[in-house]
Amino acid sequence: MGMEPLIIEIEVVKEARMPCDVPTHRLLQSKLDWEMAAHAAGMKKQRDCIQAIVDQQAEDEGLWFMAQTAPEAYLQEQLRLLHRVIEGQGQESEGK
């Protein structure tokens, strides 16, 4: 996805292993800065999309019913864990 070009660009610079003049260095730094900014923007867009889905699921009473069977209970436990991880609380809130 979006990270591959950034990683490839860094690897190309690493593999060059030769000193470069100041203009070339600035050009490479500028390109790297641009790639990082684009990557960060893409990650924010993905995060916003994921958060919107989490918010929709949180309001969906059909997902949060009282489980009647062990498989339903397991699925609900895992869904709640996923929501906690996405919301930044993670497994440490359960003492795991």
pLDDT of residue 69: 93
Residue 10: φ, ψ to 5°: -65, -40
What pLDDT is attached to residue 17?
Answer: 53
Average pLDDT over all residues of the chain: 76
The predicted pLDDT at position 66 comes to 87
Mean local confidence (pLDDT), 7-18: 50
- 3-state SS class at 1: coil
Determine the residue type at 82: L
pLDDT at position 5 over 50 = no
Task: Check pLDDT > 60 for residue 67.
Answer: yes
Mean pLDDT of the 34-58 span = 90
